């Protein structure tokens, strides 16, 4: 049975951009599970599965529907134990929890504000109004004020990646010789930026950029099915 993945999109339904939805897409592909993307916009999320959920990703797997990318990963690991593991044991689960919290602060803390205007531009008018109101309430200032100065902060962001960079200088993936869910947590965030904006977060010679390229090539090039923003 094909799993349905409710996938956040803007005006162009062929360009899903949510980091959490991409994380789940990579997760499903890692497990070798057939899935189809169901495009939804910000203002349509409340109508998913008869209004049961308020955030994406959401998956529908037979009789089961659930949300939250980490909970989805845990569910898939438990439900399909005969397929490639997302965690390679309890230690991998703990590693993934750490990576999730680190990524939220070290990555999303810079990338999220930096992409606000380009996300807004990619949305339909009704979603633009929702996005502006909700994000300006969250940040306490306008989208323009929040996004301003990203170029000035870029060097500091790149420097903050030193621990990840050093790890990836010694091994091809965060998970070791092959990817685990921890890789998809981080790759989903960089894919978010790649799909929504041409702003270059990483220098081409950065080991993190090489790792991200390997992630995009995984699962028959799943990450490259959506071209980078021009």
Q: Which one, of 28, 33, 37, lies nearest residue 7 by Cα?
A: 37
The mean per-residue pLDDT over the stretch 86-114 comes to 96
The mean per-residue pLDDT over the stretch 75-101 comes to 97
Average pLDDT, the chain: 97
Q: Is 75 exposed, middle or buried (0-12, 13-18, 19+ CB in 10 A)?
A: middle
The mean per-residue pLDDT over the stretch 109-134 comes to 98
Task: Give the span between the Cα atoms of 193 and 200, in whole angstroms.
Answer: 9
pLDDT in tens, 181-220: 999 999 999 999 999 999 999 999 999 999 999 999 999 9
Q: Tell me, what's the pLDDT at 74? A: 98
Task: Give the span between the Cα atoms of 87 and 181, in whole angstroms.
Answer: 6
pLDDT-based confidence at 1, cuts 50/70/90?
Answer: confident
Task: Give the span between the Cα atoms of 56 and 45, in whole angstroms.
Answer: 7
Please check the confidence at residue 79 and state whether its pLDDT lies above 90.
Answer: yes
pLDDT in tens, 6-58: 999 999 999 999 999 999 999 999 999 999 999 999 999 999 998 999 999 99
Percent of the chain at pLDDT > 70 equals 100
Instruction: Quote the pTM value.
Output: 0.97
Q: Tell me, what's the pLDDT at 23? A: 98
The mean per-residue pLDDT over the stretch 137-142 comes to 98
Please check the confidence at residue 141 and state whether its pLDDT lies above 90.
Answer: yes
Q: Is 20 exposed, middle or buried (0-12, 13-18, 19+ CB in 10 A)?
A: buried
Q: Tell me, what's the pLDDT at 176? A: 97
């Amino acid at each position: 049975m094909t799993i349905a993945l409710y996938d956040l999109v803007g005006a162009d339904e062929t360009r899903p951009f949510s980091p959490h939805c991409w994380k789940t897409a990579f997760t499903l592909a890692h497990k070798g599970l057939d899935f189809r993307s169901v495009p939804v916009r910000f203002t349509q999320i409340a109508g998913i599965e008869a209004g049961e959920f308020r955030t994406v990703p959401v998956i529908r797997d037979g009789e089961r529907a659930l949300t939250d990318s980490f909970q989805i990963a845990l569910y898939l690991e438990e439900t399909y134990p005969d397929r490639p593991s997302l965690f390679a044991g309890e230690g991998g689960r703990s590693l993934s929890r750490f990576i999730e919290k680190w990524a939220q602060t070290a990555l999303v803390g810079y990338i999220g504000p930096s992409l606000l205007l380009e996300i807004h531009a990619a949305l339909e008018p009704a979603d633009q109004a929702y996005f502006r109101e909700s994000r300006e309430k969250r940040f306490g200032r306008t989208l323009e004020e929040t996004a301003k100065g990203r170029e000035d902060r870029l060097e500091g962001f790149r420097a903050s990646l030193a621990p990840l960079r050093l790890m990836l200088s010694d091994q091809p993936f965060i998970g070791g010789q092959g990817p685990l869910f921890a890789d998809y947590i981080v790759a989903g965030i960089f894919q978010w930026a790649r799909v929504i904006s041409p702003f270059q977060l990483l220098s081409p010679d950065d080991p993190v950029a090489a790792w991200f390229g390997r992630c995009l090539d995984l699962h028959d090039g799943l990450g490259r099915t959506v071209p980078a923003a021009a």
